[in-house]
Amino acid sequence: MSAIVAIVGRPNVGKSTFFNRLIQRREAIVDAISGVTRDRHYGKSDWNGKEFSLIDTGGYVVGSDDIFEKEIDKQVELAIDEADAIIFMVDVESGVTGMDEDVAKLLRRIDKPVFLTVNKVDNAKRAADAVEFYALGLGEYYTLSSINGSGTGELLDDLVKVLPEKEMETDDLPRFAVVGRPNAGKSSFINALIGEERYIVTDIAGTTRDSIDTKYNRFGFEFNLVDTAGIRRKAKVKEDLEFYSVMRSVRAIEHCDVCLLLFDATRGFDGQVENIFWLAQRNNKGIVILVNKWDLVGDKETHTMKQYTQKIKQAMEPFTDVPILFISVLTKQRIFKAIETAVEVYKNRSKRIPTRKLNDVMLPIIQNTPPPAYKGKYVKIKFITQLPTPFPQFAFFCNLPQYVRDPYKRFLENKLREHFVFTGVPMSIFMRKK
């Protein structure tokens, strides 16, 4: 599980540019994942071999300036609560503002590492101007330019030194995490499964104090059930913040094998639920989608369930091979089916296809539908193997890997799914030089 670093600061100081620079450098190398890159404010980065999760709080603030003030206070408080280290970004062009002083006041009270970072410093005069940020009372500062990247190295060198080491897993039982927005019914779902009021259930969002693990045995299969319903919501933070939900889920998702993404049918598969879905997909976790409170959805005709499923699948494109179950925690309808499905997805995720079988099935398909010629060059795929990783990754060896485009990789992925059943599991396909 990697450490979490939050980037905080008022609007327009360059947080998002800096965030994009850090995650793209890595994405370009590591994440050749087919499909659409979505708008997101969470990413992974690494430096000197140490991996960490990065959260850009700026992406979650929308509204006018006075709303900004309130939102930023809330975000900084949440970041302080949840992150292992904080990058506090200010801007040399505007100098120290009242809003910067407010954020600094919050940050001076905490005992977590805070890196005061002065952005837009791209010449000697600006470097000299940065001196005024000593007034914020946070000690030394870093100067950088997030547009051209100068100065980033020193900041990251010091940042990774203070990040905690990865926690060792205490047991190697599979972990199933129940994730979703606050108030979707996650704790009630676990209570219904365990048959005891193990968690306090109230209808105030965020009453779960801690991410609690429960050993659970069913269908002859033992695993840990992780509840993440709302860990430690500050009394001051009344609103249902998307940022907060995502922050919560990051920890749980990175730490599990299968995510049970539970949401309230009456609220729909909205942007926040979608964010959590993409979070799980990008972390290559197994996913089961649970539509809770289906009994509360009014005027259901015969097609409603089908239409609802279609709508969810549209939002998940191109990764639609995911089980969707309609449940009611209150009446215990299909809740055990949910666990049974999660067990199947876990098995799919750890499935190994023998190389010979893989080639016997896939090579004829590729011969019938070869990759389209590109710039007059023909790609010949000779051999396929599954890589020895915890989730399905396949290497296709060919003469011109650079000419195989994403649509063809998706075609290959669909064929693999069709023949070998990887329902609920993200998959990566790599083209390698033979």
> Which CATH class name applies to 355-433?
alpha beta
Rounded mean pLDDT, 180-202? 70
Query: Annotation-wise, does 129 bind a ligand?
Result: no
Residue range 372-409, pLDDT digits in tens: 988 888 999 999 999 998 899 999 999 999 989 889 99
pLDDT value at residue 332? 85
Tokens of 202: 């109230």
Query: Annotation-wise, does 45 bind a ligand?
Result: no
Query: Annotation-wise, does 3 bind a ligand?
Result: no
Query: Annotation-wise, does 10 bind a ligand?
Result: yes
Query: Annotation-wise, does 284 bind a ligand?
Result: no
Q: Where in the chain is the domain with CATH 3.40.50.300?
A: 4-162, 175-350
Q: Where in the chain is the domain with CATH 3.30.300.20?
A: 355-433
pLDDT value at residue 111? 87
pLDDT value at residue 68? 61
Query: Annotation-wise, does 122 bind a ligand?
Result: yes
Query: Annotation-wise, does 187 bind a ligand?
Result: yes
Which residue(s) pair with 258 in the sheet? 176, 286
pLDDT value at residue 235? 43
Contact 188, 201 (CB under 8 A): yes
pLDDT value at residue 110? 86
pLDDT value at residue 128? 92
Q: For the structural domain made of 175-350, what CATH number should be given?
A: 3.40.50.300
Query: Annotation-wise, does 11 bind a ligand?
Result: yes
Share of the chain above pLDDT 90, in %: 38
Confidence label for 131 from pLDDT (cuts 50, 70 and 90): very high
Query: Annotation-wise, does 60 bind a ligand?
Result: yes
Query: Lowest mean pLDDT: which of 182-191, 198-207, 400-409?
Result: 198-207
- Higher local confidence (pLDDT), 64 or 278: 278
Query: Annotation-wise, does 31 bind a ligand?
Result: no
Query: Annotation-wise, does 57 bind a ligand?
Result: yes
Query: Lowest mean pLDDT: which of 50-59, 95-104, 112-121, 203-212?
Result: 203-212
Query: Annotation-wise, does 424 bind a ligand?
Result: no
Does residue 102 surpass a pLDDT of 60?
A: yes
- Higher local confidence (pLDDT), 431 or 271: 431
Q: For the structural domain made of 4-162, what CATH number should be given?
A: 3.40.50.300
Query: Annotation-wise, does 293 bind a ligand?
Result: yes
Query: Annotation-wise, does 229 bind a ligand?
Result: yes
Query: Annotation-wise, does 12 bind a ligand?
Result: yes
Rounded mean pLDDT, 176-185? 84
Does residue 183 surpass a pLDDT of 80?
A: no
Share of the chain above pLDDT 70, in %: 79
Confidence label for 189 from pLDDT (cuts 50, 70 and 90): confident
Query: Annotation-wise, does 121 bind a ligand?
Result: yes
pTM: 0.68
Query: Annotation-wise, does 14 bind a ligand?
Result: yes
Query: Annotation-wise, does 292 bind a ligand?
Result: yes
- Higher local confidence (pLDDT), 293 or 16: 293
Does residue 171 surpass a pLDDT of 70?
A: no
